[in-house]
Structure 1
Amino acid sequence: MRLLESVARHEHGAPAKQLAREAGLALPTAYHLLRTLAHEGYLRREKGLFFLGEAAERLSSSGAGQKRRSKVADALAGWHDAIGAPVYYAIYRDGEIEVQCVADTPGNPAVEEWADFRETGHAHAIGQCLLSQLDDEARRDHLDRYPVQSLTPYTVRDDHILMRRLESTPRMHPVIERQEYVLGTVCAAVPITMGGTAAAMAISMPSHQADRLLPAARRLQSEIGELLGTLSLSISI
Protein backbone atom coordinates (compact mmCIF):
# COMPACT_ATOMS: atom_id res chain seq x y z
CA MET A 1 0.00 0.00 0.00
CA ARG A 2 2.85 2.40 0.76
CA LEU A 3 4.29 1.69 -2.68
CA LEU A 4 0.94 2.41 -4.31
CA GLU A 5 0.66 5.66 -2.36
CA SER A 6 4.15 6.64 -3.48
CA VAL A 7 3.39 5.91 -7.13
CA ALA A 8 0.16 7.92 -6.89
CA ARG A 9 2.16 10.99 -5.84
CA HIS A 10 4.20 10.88 -9.06
CA GLU A 11 2.03 11.81 -12.04
CA HIS A 12 4.93 11.28 -14.45
CA GLY A 13 6.08 8.01 -12.91
CA ALA A 14 8.97 7.12 -10.59
CA PRO A 15 11.79 4.53 -10.59
CA ALA A 16 11.97 1.60 -8.18
CA LYS A 17 14.83 3.06 -6.14
CA GLN A 18 12.94 6.26 -5.43
CA LEU A 19 9.75 4.38 -4.55
CA ALA A 20 11.64 2.03 -2.23
CA ARG A 21 13.19 4.99 -0.43
CA GLU A 22 9.86 6.80 -0.05
CA ALA A 23 8.09 3.67 1.19
CA GLY A 24 10.90 2.83 3.61
CA LEU A 25 11.55 -0.59 2.04
CA ALA A 26 14.71 -2.46 1.18
CA LEU A 27 15.32 -2.32 -2.57
CA PRO A 28 15.03 -6.13 -3.14
CA THR A 29 11.70 -6.14 -1.27
CA ALA A 30 10.47 -3.14 -3.24
CA TYR A 31 11.45 -4.77 -6.55
CA HIS A 32 9.54 -7.93 -5.62
CA LEU A 33 6.42 -6.02 -4.58
CA LEU A 34 6.52 -3.73 -7.61
CA ARG A 35 6.73 -6.72 -9.98
CA THR A 36 3.80 -8.36 -8.19
CA LEU A 37 1.70 -5.18 -8.33
CA ALA A 38 2.48 -4.76 -12.02
CA HIS A 39 1.60 -8.39 -12.73
CA GLU A 40 -1.78 -7.92 -10.98
CA GLY A 41 -2.52 -4.72 -12.91
CA TYR A 42 -2.22 -2.30 -10.00
CA LEU A 43 0.89 -0.76 -11.56
CA ARG A 44 2.33 -0.51 -15.05
CA ARG A 45 5.99 -0.09 -15.97
CA GLU A 46 7.25 2.07 -18.82
CA LYS A 47 10.94 2.73 -19.51
CA GLY A 48 11.91 1.92 -15.94
CA LEU A 49 9.21 4.10 -14.37
CA PHE A 50 6.14 2.88 -12.50
CA PHE A 51 2.65 4.33 -12.93
CA LEU A 52 -0.75 3.43 -11.49
CA GLY A 53 -2.42 0.65 -13.49
CA GLU A 54 -6.04 0.00 -14.42
CA ALA A 55 -6.78 -2.03 -11.29
CA ALA A 56 -5.65 0.85 -9.05
CA GLU A 57 -7.69 3.31 -11.09
CA ARG A 58 -10.77 1.13 -10.60
CA LEU A 59 -10.16 1.23 -6.85
CA SER A 60 -9.90 5.01 -7.01
CA SER A 61 -13.13 5.26 -9.00
CA SER A 62 -14.91 2.99 -6.52
CA GLY A 63 -13.67 5.08 -3.61
CA ALA A 64 -14.89 8.28 -5.24
CA GLY A 65 -18.28 6.66 -5.81
CA GLN A 66 -18.51 5.66 -2.17
CA LYS A 67 -17.64 9.22 -1.14
CA ARG A 68 -20.40 10.64 -3.34
CA ARG A 69 -22.83 8.08 -1.96
CA SER A 70 -21.89 9.10 1.56
CA LYS A 71 -22.55 12.80 0.79
CA VAL A 72 -25.99 12.00 -0.61
CA ALA A 73 -26.81 9.76 2.35
CA ASP A 74 -25.71 12.45 4.83
CA ALA A 75 -27.87 15.07 3.13
CA LEU A 76 -30.90 12.78 3.08
CA ALA A 77 -30.38 11.95 6.75
CA GLY A 78 -30.30 15.66 7.57
CA TRP A 79 -33.55 16.27 5.74
CA HIS A 80 -35.11 13.23 7.40
CA ASP A 81 -34.27 14.69 10.81
CA ALA A 82 -35.54 18.15 9.86
CA ILE A 83 -38.78 17.00 8.27
CA GLY A 84 -39.46 13.98 10.45
CA ALA A 85 -40.17 11.64 7.53
CA PRO A 86 -38.29 9.11 5.39
CA VAL A 87 -36.52 10.70 2.42
CA TYR A 88 -35.80 8.92 -0.88
CA TYR A 89 -33.59 9.71 -3.87
CA ALA A 90 -34.27 8.03 -7.22
CA ILE A 91 -33.37 8.33 -10.89
CA TYR A 92 -34.66 6.92 -14.17
CA ARG A 93 -31.80 5.21 -15.99
CA ASP A 94 -31.76 2.82 -18.94
CA GLY A 95 -35.53 2.50 -18.83
CA GLU A 96 -35.67 1.58 -15.15
CA ILE A 97 -36.65 3.26 -11.89
CA GLU A 98 -33.70 3.13 -9.49
CA VAL A 99 -34.10 4.11 -5.83
CA GLN A 100 -30.50 4.99 -5.01
CA CYS A 101 -30.67 6.08 -1.40
CA VAL A 102 -33.15 6.12 1.49
CA ALA A 103 -32.92 7.84 4.88
CA ASP A 104 -35.22 6.54 7.59
CA THR A 105 -35.27 5.50 11.26
CA PRO A 106 -37.18 2.91 13.30
CA GLY A 107 -39.51 5.71 14.41
CA ASN A 108 -40.05 6.88 10.82
CA PRO A 109 -39.54 3.78 8.67
CA ALA A 110 -39.45 3.83 4.88
CA VAL A 111 -42.27 2.29 2.90
CA GLU A 112 -41.78 -1.46 2.68
CA GLU A 113 -41.19 -2.51 -0.93
CA TRP A 114 -43.82 -5.21 -1.00
CA ALA A 115 -44.26 -4.84 -4.78
CA ASP A 116 -41.18 -4.13 -6.93
CA PHE A 117 -40.72 -0.35 -7.24
CA ARG A 118 -39.42 -0.78 -10.80
CA GLU A 119 -42.58 -2.55 -11.92
CA THR A 120 -45.08 -0.34 -10.06
CA GLY A 121 -44.00 3.17 -11.04
CA HIS A 122 -47.59 4.02 -11.90
CA ALA A 123 -48.61 3.50 -8.27
CA HIS A 124 -46.09 5.50 -6.24
CA ALA A 125 -45.07 9.13 -6.17
CA ILE A 126 -41.45 8.41 -7.11
CA GLY A 127 -42.46 6.55 -10.25
CA GLN A 128 -45.12 9.05 -11.27
CA CYS A 129 -42.68 11.91 -10.77
CA LEU A 130 -39.99 10.23 -12.88
CA LEU A 131 -42.45 9.22 -15.61
CA SER A 132 -43.84 12.75 -15.76
CA GLN A 133 -40.36 13.97 -16.79
CA LEU A 134 -40.12 11.57 -19.77
CA ASP A 135 -41.37 12.20 -23.28
CA ASP A 136 -44.47 10.43 -24.55
CA GLU A 137 -42.54 7.67 -26.33
CA ALA A 138 -40.45 6.83 -23.26
CA ARG A 139 -43.54 6.75 -21.05
CA ARG A 140 -45.37 4.38 -23.39
CA ASP A 141 -42.31 2.16 -23.64
CA HIS A 142 -42.18 1.94 -19.83
CA LEU A 143 -45.88 1.13 -19.52
CA ASP A 144 -45.64 -1.49 -22.27
CA ARG A 145 -43.02 -3.25 -20.15
CA TYR A 146 -44.70 -2.57 -16.80
CA PRO A 147 -48.48 -2.32 -17.35
CA VAL A 148 -50.74 -0.59 -14.85
CA GLN A 149 -52.05 -2.95 -12.19
CA SER A 150 -54.23 -2.29 -9.15
CA LEU A 151 -52.32 -2.51 -5.87
CA THR A 152 -54.95 -0.84 -3.67
CA PRO A 153 -58.48 0.52 -4.20
CA TYR A 154 -56.87 3.92 -4.85
CA THR A 155 -54.41 2.88 -7.57
CA VAL A 156 -54.86 4.51 -10.97
CA ARG A 157 -57.05 2.21 -13.04
CA ASP A 158 -55.54 2.14 -16.53
CA ASP A 159 -52.83 3.49 -18.82
CA HIS A 160 -55.05 6.18 -20.35
CA ILE A 161 -55.93 7.75 -16.99
CA LEU A 162 -52.30 7.60 -15.91
CA MET A 163 -51.05 9.19 -19.16
CA ARG A 164 -53.55 12.05 -18.80
CA ARG A 165 -52.43 12.56 -15.22
CA LEU A 166 -48.75 12.63 -16.19
CA GLU A 167 -49.35 15.00 -19.09
CA SER A 168 -51.27 17.42 -16.87
CA THR A 169 -48.65 17.43 -14.10
CA PRO A 170 -47.24 21.00 -13.88
CA ARG A 171 -43.51 21.10 -14.59
CA MET A 172 -41.37 21.02 -11.44
CA HIS A 173 -44.37 20.69 -9.12
CA PRO A 174 -44.43 18.05 -6.37
CA VAL A 175 -46.29 14.86 -7.27
CA ILE A 176 -48.69 13.65 -4.57
CA GLU A 177 -49.81 10.04 -4.18
CA ARG A 178 -52.34 8.95 -1.55
CA GLN A 179 -52.48 5.23 -0.67
CA GLU A 180 -51.99 4.11 -4.28
CA TYR A 181 -48.98 1.91 -3.54
CA VAL A 182 -49.82 0.79 -0.01
CA LEU A 183 -52.77 1.50 2.25
CA GLY A 184 -52.12 3.84 5.15
CA THR A 185 -49.30 5.78 3.47
CA VAL A 186 -49.15 8.99 1.48
CA CYS A 187 -46.13 10.14 -0.54
CA ALA A 188 -44.84 13.22 -2.33
CA ALA A 189 -42.01 13.40 -4.88
CA VAL A 190 -40.14 16.44 -6.11
CA PRO A 191 -38.69 16.46 -9.66
CA ILE A 192 -35.03 17.32 -10.11
CA THR A 193 -33.55 18.65 -13.32
CA MET A 194 -30.08 17.23 -14.04
CA GLY A 195 -29.29 17.42 -17.73
CA GLY A 196 -31.09 14.69 -19.60
CA THR A 197 -31.60 12.47 -16.56
CA ALA A 198 -34.95 12.28 -14.77
CA ALA A 199 -34.47 12.31 -11.01
CA ALA A 200 -36.63 12.82 -7.94
CA MET A 201 -36.55 13.12 -4.19
CA ALA A 202 -39.52 11.97 -2.17
CA ILE A 203 -40.96 11.68 1.32
CA SER A 204 -43.59 9.37 2.79
CA MET A 205 -45.88 9.70 5.79
CA PRO A 206 -48.74 7.83 7.47
CA SER A 207 -52.03 8.79 5.88
CA HIS A 208 -53.28 10.45 9.09
CA GLN A 209 -50.47 13.01 8.62
CA ALA A 210 -51.51 13.83 5.05
CA ASP A 211 -51.92 17.53 5.88
CA ARG A 212 -48.14 17.73 6.50
CA LEU A 213 -47.22 16.18 3.17
CA LEU A 214 -47.35 19.10 0.72
CA PRO A 215 -45.71 21.68 3.04
CA ALA A 216 -42.92 19.19 3.77
CA ALA A 217 -42.44 18.47 0.06
CA ARG A 218 -42.19 22.18 -0.72
CA ARG A 219 -39.65 22.63 2.05
CA LEU A 220 -37.59 19.78 0.64
CA GLN A 221 -37.80 21.26 -2.85
CA SER A 222 -36.60 24.66 -1.65
CA GLU A 223 -33.47 23.13 -0.11
CA ILE A 224 -32.51 20.66 -2.83
CA GLY A 225 -30.33 23.17 -4.70
CA GLU A 226 -27.56 22.80 -2.11
CA LEU A 227 -27.09 19.16 -3.09
CA LEU A 228 -27.65 19.30 -6.85
CA GLY A 229 -23.94 19.00 -7.67
CA THR A 230 -23.53 15.87 -5.57
CA LEU A 231 -26.75 14.36 -6.90
CA SER A 232 -25.57 14.97 -10.46
CA LEU A 233 -22.32 13.16 -9.76
CA SER A 234 -24.16 10.31 -8.09
CA ILE A 235 -25.87 9.45 -11.36
CA SER A 236 -22.62 7.78 -12.36
CA ILE A 237 -22.52 5.58 -9.23
Structure 2
Amino acid sequence: MPTLIGSVQRALRLLEAAGSHSGGAPAKQLAREAGLPLPTAYHLLRTLTHEGYLRRQSGVFVLGDAAGRLAGGGLQQKRRSMILDSLAHFRDTVGAPVYFAVFREGEIEIVGVSDTPANPVCEEWADVRATGHAHAIGQCLLGQLDEKTRKDYYERHPVESITPYTVRDVHALEQRIGSRERTQPVIERQEYALGTVCAAIPITVGDIAATVAISLPLHQEERLLSAVDRLRSEVGALLSTLSFSISI
Protein backbone atom coordinates (compact mmCIF):
# COMPACT_ATOMS: atom_id res chain seq x y z
CA MET A 1 0.00 0.00 0.00
CA PRO A 2 2.74 2.59 0.78
CA THR A 3 4.30 1.83 -2.63
CA LEU A 4 0.92 2.36 -4.35
CA ILE A 5 0.28 5.62 -2.50
CA GLY A 6 3.77 6.81 -3.41
CA SER A 7 3.12 6.06 -7.08
CA VAL A 8 -0.12 8.04 -6.98
CA GLN A 9 1.64 10.98 -5.34
CA ARG A 10 4.40 10.95 -7.97
CA ALA A 11 1.84 10.75 -10.77
CA LEU A 12 -0.04 13.72 -9.34
CA ARG A 13 3.16 15.74 -9.16
CA LEU A 14 3.73 15.04 -12.85
CA LEU A 15 0.18 16.13 -13.68
CA GLU A 16 0.64 19.33 -11.71
CA ALA A 17 3.90 20.00 -13.54
CA ALA A 18 2.29 19.37 -16.93
CA GLY A 19 -0.67 21.57 -16.01
CA SER A 20 1.63 24.50 -15.27
CA HIS A 21 2.72 24.62 -18.94
CA SER A 22 -0.08 25.60 -21.30
CA GLY A 23 1.99 24.60 -24.31
CA GLY A 24 3.26 21.37 -22.78
CA ALA A 25 6.70 20.33 -21.56
CA PRO A 26 9.16 17.52 -22.38
CA ALA A 27 9.64 14.53 -20.10
CA LYS A 28 13.02 15.69 -18.75
CA GLN A 29 11.59 19.03 -17.67
CA LEU A 30 8.54 17.43 -16.04
CA ALA A 31 10.76 14.94 -14.20
CA ARG A 32 12.94 17.75 -12.91
CA GLU A 33 9.98 19.88 -11.77
CA ALA A 34 8.30 16.89 -10.09
CA GLY A 35 11.55 15.89 -8.40
CA LEU A 36 11.58 12.42 -9.94
CA PRO A 37 14.28 10.24 -11.49
CA LEU A 38 13.93 10.23 -15.26
CA PRO A 39 13.21 6.46 -15.57
CA THR A 40 10.41 6.76 -12.97
CA ALA A 41 9.00 9.80 -14.75
CA TYR A 42 9.06 8.00 -18.12
CA HIS A 43 7.15 5.05 -16.66
CA LEU A 44 4.48 7.23 -15.06
CA LEU A 45 4.18 9.46 -18.13
CA ARG A 46 3.51 6.41 -20.31
CA THR A 47 0.83 5.24 -17.87
CA LEU A 48 -0.80 8.66 -17.61
CA THR A 49 -0.81 8.98 -21.40
CA HIS A 50 -2.32 5.53 -21.84
CA GLU A 51 -5.13 6.43 -19.41
CA GLY A 52 -5.86 9.73 -21.14
CA TYR A 53 -4.63 12.06 -18.40
CA LEU A 54 -1.82 13.29 -20.64
CA ARG A 55 -1.28 13.59 -24.41
CA ARG A 56 2.07 13.57 -26.16
CA GLN A 57 2.35 15.91 -29.12
CA SER A 58 5.43 17.22 -30.88
CA GLY A 59 7.70 15.81 -28.17
CA VAL A 60 5.96 17.44 -25.22
CA PHE A 61 3.27 16.31 -22.77
CA VAL A 62 0.02 18.26 -22.28
CA LEU A 63 -3.04 17.55 -20.15
CA GLY A 64 -5.50 15.11 -21.71
CA ASP A 65 -9.28 14.81 -21.66
CA ALA A 66 -9.34 12.66 -18.52
CA ALA A 67 -7.53 15.39 -16.57
CA GLY A 68 -10.13 17.86 -17.80
CA ARG A 69 -12.88 15.64 -16.47
CA LEU A 70 -11.16 15.56 -13.10
CA ALA A 71 -11.11 19.36 -13.05
CA GLY A 72 -14.77 19.47 -14.05
CA GLY A 73 -15.66 17.12 -11.23
CA GLY A 74 -13.89 19.39 -8.78
CA LEU A 75 -15.89 22.38 -10.03
CA GLN A 76 -19.11 20.42 -9.69
CA GLN A 77 -18.23 19.51 -6.11
CA LYS A 78 -17.46 23.14 -5.36
CA ARG A 79 -20.84 24.19 -6.71
CA ARG A 80 -22.60 21.55 -4.64
CA SER A 81 -20.75 22.70 -1.53
CA MET A 82 -21.88 26.27 -2.21
CA ILE A 83 -25.49 25.13 -2.44
CA LEU A 84 -25.32 23.09 0.77
CA ASP A 85 -23.65 25.96 2.62
CA SER A 86 -26.46 28.29 1.50
CA LEU A 87 -29.14 25.80 2.54
CA ALA A 88 -27.52 25.37 5.96
CA HIS A 89 -27.59 29.15 6.37
CA PHE A 90 -31.29 29.27 5.45
CA ARG A 91 -32.02 26.33 7.77
CA ASP A 92 -30.41 28.03 10.75
CA THR A 93 -32.07 31.35 9.97
CA VAL A 94 -35.65 30.06 9.74
CA GLY A 95 -35.32 27.09 12.11
CA ALA A 96 -36.73 24.59 9.62
CA PRO A 97 -35.45 22.06 7.08
CA VAL A 98 -34.71 23.63 3.70
CA TYR A 99 -34.87 22.12 0.21
CA PHE A 100 -33.46 23.33 -3.12
CA ALA A 101 -35.00 21.87 -6.29
CA VAL A 102 -35.01 22.50 -10.03
CA PHE A 103 -37.06 21.40 -13.03
CA ARG A 104 -34.56 19.89 -15.45
CA GLU A 105 -35.04 17.77 -18.55
CA GLY A 106 -38.74 17.36 -17.85
CA GLU A 107 -38.38 16.19 -14.27
CA ILE A 108 -38.39 17.56 -10.73
CA GLU A 109 -34.97 17.18 -9.16
CA ILE A 110 -34.11 17.77 -5.51
CA VAL A 111 -30.60 19.21 -5.70
CA GLY A 112 -29.96 19.53 -1.96
CA VAL A 113 -31.55 19.47 1.48
CA SER A 114 -30.42 20.66 4.90
CA ASP A 115 -31.96 19.70 8.22
CA THR A 116 -31.10 18.97 11.86
CA PRO A 117 -32.10 16.18 14.25
CA ALA A 118 -34.49 18.64 15.92
CA ASN A 119 -35.98 19.72 12.58
CA PRO A 120 -35.81 16.76 10.19
CA VAL A 121 -36.84 16.83 6.53
CA CYS A 122 -40.18 15.44 5.47
CA GLU A 123 -39.83 11.74 4.71
CA GLU A 124 -40.08 10.95 0.99
CA TRP A 125 -42.73 8.26 1.15
CA ALA A 126 -43.92 8.86 -2.43
CA ASP A 127 -41.62 9.61 -5.37
CA VAL A 128 -41.12 13.38 -5.37
CA ARG A 129 -40.50 13.41 -9.13
CA ALA A 130 -43.85 11.77 -9.90
CA THR A 131 -45.97 13.68 -7.36
CA GLY A 132 -45.22 17.28 -8.26
CA HIS A 133 -48.92 18.12 -8.10
CA ALA A 134 -49.02 17.13 -4.44
CA HIS A 135 -46.17 19.07 -2.82
CA ALA A 136 -45.19 22.70 -2.60
CA ILE A 137 -41.89 22.14 -4.40
CA GLY A 138 -43.59 20.59 -7.41
CA GLN A 139 -46.45 23.07 -7.54
CA CYS A 140 -43.96 25.93 -7.37
CA LEU A 141 -41.87 24.52 -10.21
CA LEU A 142 -44.89 23.64 -12.35
CA GLY A 143 -46.21 27.17 -11.90
CA GLN A 144 -43.05 28.55 -13.54
CA LEU A 145 -43.43 26.41 -16.66
CA ASP A 146 -45.36 27.07 -19.86
CA GLU A 147 -48.60 25.19 -20.45
CA LYS A 148 -47.08 22.77 -22.98
CA THR A 149 -44.30 21.70 -20.61
CA ARG A 150 -46.76 21.21 -17.77
CA LYS A 151 -49.03 19.12 -20.00
CA ASP A 152 -46.12 16.89 -20.91
CA TYR A 153 -45.36 16.43 -17.21
CA TYR A 154 -49.00 15.55 -16.40
CA GLU A 155 -49.06 12.96 -19.19
CA ARG A 156 -46.09 11.18 -17.68
CA HIS A 157 -47.09 11.74 -14.04
CA PRO A 158 -50.90 11.73 -13.71
CA VAL A 159 -52.53 13.89 -11.07
CA GLU A 160 -54.04 11.72 -8.36
CA SER A 161 -54.76 12.03 -4.65
CA ILE A 162 -52.14 10.63 -2.33
CA THR A 163 -53.69 12.09 0.84
CA PRO A 164 -57.24 13.31 1.57
CA TYR A 165 -55.97 16.87 1.02
CA THR A 166 -54.27 16.43 -2.37
CA VAL A 167 -55.64 18.38 -5.34
CA ARG A 168 -58.11 16.10 -7.09
CA ASP A 169 -57.42 16.56 -10.82
CA VAL A 170 -55.50 18.48 -13.45
CA HIS A 171 -58.29 21.03 -13.91
CA ALA A 172 -58.25 21.97 -10.22
CA LEU A 173 -54.46 22.12 -10.20
CA GLU A 174 -54.36 24.34 -13.28
CA GLN A 175 -56.94 26.66 -11.71
CA ARG A 176 -54.76 26.94 -8.63
CA ILE A 177 -51.64 27.64 -10.68
CA GLY A 178 -53.44 30.20 -12.83
CA SER A 179 -54.79 32.12 -9.84
CA ARG A 180 -51.38 32.63 -8.25
CA GLU A 181 -48.78 35.19 -9.25
CA ARG A 182 -45.58 33.54 -10.47
CA THR A 183 -43.45 35.34 -7.89
CA GLN A 184 -45.58 34.39 -4.88
CA PRO A 185 -44.71 31.52 -2.54
CA VAL A 186 -46.68 28.28 -2.71
CA ILE A 187 -48.27 27.03 0.51
CA GLU A 188 -49.25 23.37 0.82
CA ARG A 189 -50.92 21.75 3.81
CA GLN A 190 -50.85 17.94 4.16
CA GLU A 191 -51.23 17.40 0.41
CA TYR A 192 -48.06 15.32 0.15
CA ALA A 193 -47.60 14.04 3.71
CA LEU A 194 -50.11 13.96 6.55
CA GLY A 195 -48.96 16.02 9.52
CA THR A 196 -46.70 18.25 7.39
CA VAL A 197 -47.08 21.75 5.95
CA CYS A 198 -44.74 23.18 3.32
CA ALA A 199 -43.96 26.39 1.49
CA ALA A 200 -41.86 26.98 -1.63
CA ILE A 201 -40.42 30.18 -3.09
CA PRO A 202 -39.97 30.42 -6.88
CA ILE A 203 -36.55 31.25 -8.30
CA THR A 204 -36.01 31.66 -12.03
CA VAL A 205 -32.47 31.84 -13.41
CA GLY A 206 -32.41 32.16 -17.17
CA ASP A 207 -34.64 29.40 -18.52
CA ILE A 208 -34.28 27.14 -15.46
CA ALA A 209 -37.15 26.95 -12.97
CA ALA A 210 -35.98 26.50 -9.38
CA THR A 211 -37.31 26.77 -5.84
CA VAL A 212 -36.20 26.96 -2.24
CA ALA A 213 -38.70 25.37 0.14
CA ILE A 214 -39.26 24.60 3.82
CA SER A 215 -41.42 22.13 5.73
CA LEU A 216 -42.83 22.12 9.25
CA PRO A 217 -44.86 19.68 11.32
CA LEU A 218 -48.56 20.51 11.37
CA HIS A 219 -48.52 21.58 15.02
CA GLN A 220 -46.05 24.35 14.08
CA GLU A 221 -48.16 25.67 11.20
CA GLU A 222 -48.46 29.10 12.81
CA ARG A 223 -44.72 29.57 12.13
CA LEU A 224 -44.97 28.90 8.41
CA LEU A 225 -45.82 32.34 7.03
CA SER A 226 -43.26 34.21 9.13
CA ALA A 227 -40.63 31.60 8.22
CA VAL A 228 -41.45 32.05 4.53
CA ASP A 229 -41.09 35.84 4.79
CA ARG A 230 -37.71 35.45 6.46
CA LEU A 231 -36.61 32.89 3.88
CA ARG A 232 -37.58 35.19 1.00
CA SER A 233 -35.35 37.97 2.32
CA GLU A 234 -32.46 35.57 2.86
CA VAL A 235 -32.81 33.99 -0.59
CA GLY A 236 -32.70 37.44 -2.17
CA ALA A 237 -29.41 38.19 -0.44
CA LEU A 238 -27.82 34.89 -1.54
CA LEU A 239 -29.46 34.53 -4.95
CA SER A 240 -26.17 35.11 -6.76
CA THR A 241 -24.68 32.05 -5.06
CA LEU A 242 -27.61 29.86 -6.02
CA SER A 243 -27.61 31.30 -9.54
CA PHE A 244 -23.97 30.32 -10.02
CA SER A 245 -24.54 26.87 -8.57
CA ILE A 246 -27.83 26.04 -10.23
CA SER A 247 -26.17 24.28 -13.17
CA ILE A 248 -24.78 21.53 -10.93
The aligned counterpart of 2:224 is 213
The aligned counterpart of 2:29 is 18
**2:39 corresponds to 1:28:** yes
1:42-191 paired onto structure 2 within 5 Å? 42-191=53-202
In 2, distance between residues paired with 1:171 and 1:149? 24
Question: Where in structure 2 are there 5+ consecutive unaligned residues?
Answer: 1-11
In 1, distance between residues paired with 2:31 and 2:61? 12
Question: Would you say the 8 A contact 1:90–1:200 is kept in 2?
Answer: yes
Q: Which amino acid in structure 1 is aligned with residue 93 of structure 2?
A: A
The aligned counterpart of 1:197 is 208
CA apart distance, 1:235: 3.3
In 2, distance between residues paired with 1:235 and 1:31? 42
Count of aligned pairs between the two proteins? 237
Question: Would you say the 8 A contact 1:174–1:218 is kept in 2?
Answer: no
TM-score, normalisation: structure 2 = 0.93
In 1, distance between residues paired with 2:128 and 2:145? 17
**2:19 corresponds to 1:8:** yes
In 1, distance between residues paired with 2:247 and 2:234? 22
CA apart distance, 1:186: 0.3
Question: Would you say the 8 A contact 2:136–2:188 is kept in 1?
Answer: yes
Q: Which amino acid in structure 1 is aligned with residue 50 of structure 2?
A: H
The aligned counterpart of 2:3 is none
CA apart distance, 1:234: 3.0
CA apart distance, 1:225: 3.2
CA apart distance, 1:227: 3.2
In 1, distance between residues paired with 2:238 and 2:28? 45
Question: Where in structure 1 are there 5+ consecutive unaligned residues?
Answer: none
CA displacement, residues 52-110 of structure 1 (integer Å, 9 cap, x when unaligned) = 11111111101110111011101111111121100000000010000010001111110
In 2, distance between residues paired with 1:45 and 1:222? 53
The aligned counterpart of 2:6 is none
In 2, distance between residues paired with 1:47 and 1:162? 64
In 2, distance between residues paired with 1:228 and 1:41? 38
In 1, distance between residues paired with 2:241 and 2:22? 27
TM-score, normalisation: structure 1 = 0.97
In 1, distance between residues paired with 2:15 and 2:181? 53
CA apart distance, 1:231: 2.4
- SS of the residue aligned with 1:75? helix
Question: Would you say the 8 A contact 2:90–2:234 is kept in 1?
Answer: no
In 1, distance between residues paired with 2:221 and 2:67? 50
